[in-house]
Amino acid sequence: MAATHTSPRIAPAADDLLSLANARVMADDTCILDLPALTLHGGENTAILGANGSGKSTLVKLITRQIYPLYGGTVRIFGQDNWNVFDLRKLLGIVSSTMQLDFDAEPPLEVLDCVVSGFFASRGLWAHQDYTQEMVDVSRAAIEEVGATHLIGRSIASLSTGEARRILIARALAHRPRALLLDEPCAGLDPAARHHFLDMLRAVARGGTTLLLITHHIEEILPEISRIVMLREGRVEQDGDKETLLTGDALTRLFGLPIEVTPRGEWFHADIVD
C-alpha cells in the first residue's frame, strides 16, 4: 500500500494548501471521516478519489468551513486555522455542480454580473455594493480566459450546463486564487462538453493555479494532476503518485468491484470487468 504524504506536521507551511490533524467528523453515532494526518501542498495538483459515501463531500465541507472537526482536530488552510470565509474565498476558489442551481434561480442573473458579484460573495450585484471598473475588467478577463466572452449579456439560466460551469470557473478565477477546489465539476456534462471543460481546466492548471479535484471518475483526472488520495469509508485508503495508484488492483480495492485500468495517452480509463 502506498502511504506517502501522510506524516503529521507540527508547523504547517504557509504554502500548504491544506493540513489536517486528528480531523474526525461524526454523524449521529457514526464516524464518517477520520483523518489522523493529511497535508496537500500548494503547487501540487491533487485528486481526491473515492466512491459515493467515502467521505469526499464531508472533506469538502471541512475545507469550505461548513462543518468543523471534533474537539482536538485541526484544519489549516494555507497555514492558517482561523478564517473569515469571505477572505478564504479570495485564495481558494470553489466550483461544484450544485452551485449552479443557485445562479439558475429567479430573478435572471446576467453572466458578467455573476462573475463581478463573486467579489462580494453574493448572487448578483446590488445598489449598496460599490464595485469598481477594475473589478469589471478583471471579470471580463477571467471570462475570456475560460473561452466564454461570447456569453456576456446572456442570463445564467439560458446557458447549457457546460457553459454555466465555465462561468462559475471564471467567477472563481477573477480573484486570482492560489487554488481551485473542484467538487465533481463534470457532473451533468455530456461527453463533448466534458471534453471541452477538461481542456479548459488543463489551461488553468498550466497557468499556475493549484487544482484540488474531488471525483469518482478516473477519466476526469487531468494529466496535470500528479497525486491521488483515495478515500474509503471515511479514511485514507492510499495516498501517492498517480502512476502508482491508478491501477486495476488499487481501484478494485477502493470500489469493491473488479476494475481494469487502461492508460490512454496522458489519461486513464477504467472498466468494470464482468
Per the domain annotation, does 40 fall within a domain?
A: no
d(Cα 55, Cα 30) in Å, to the nearest integer? 12
State the average pLDDT for the chain.
Answer: 89
Domains: count for the chain: 1
- pLDDT the model gives residue 5: 42
d(Cα 253, Cα 240) in Å, to the nearest integer? 15
Per the domain annotation, does 214 fall within a domain?
A: yes
Q: What are phi and psi of 227, to 5 degrees?
A: -125, 140
Instruction: Report the candidate in 180, 159, 177 with the shortest Cα–Cα distance to residue 103.
Output: 159
**What mean pLDDT is predicted for residues 145-160?**
94
Per the domain annotation, does 161 fall within a domain?
A: yes
- The set of cell numbers assigned to 53 is 459515501
Does 152 have pLDDT greater than 90? yes
- pLDDT the model gives residue 125: 74
Per the domain annotation, does 28 fall within a domain?
A: no
**What mean pLDDT is predicted for residues 194-210?**
93
CATH of the domain at 215: 3.40.50.300
Which domain, by its residues, includes 192? 45-65+85-272
Per the domain annotation, does 11 fall within a domain?
A: no
Does 9 have pLDDT greater than 60? no
Q: Quick: pLDDT tens for 38-61.
A: 999 999 999 999 999 999 999 999
- pLDDT the model gives residue 175: 86
Q: Quick: pLDDT tens for 209-264.
A: 999 999 999 999 999 999 999 999 999 999 999 999 999 999 999 999 999 999 99
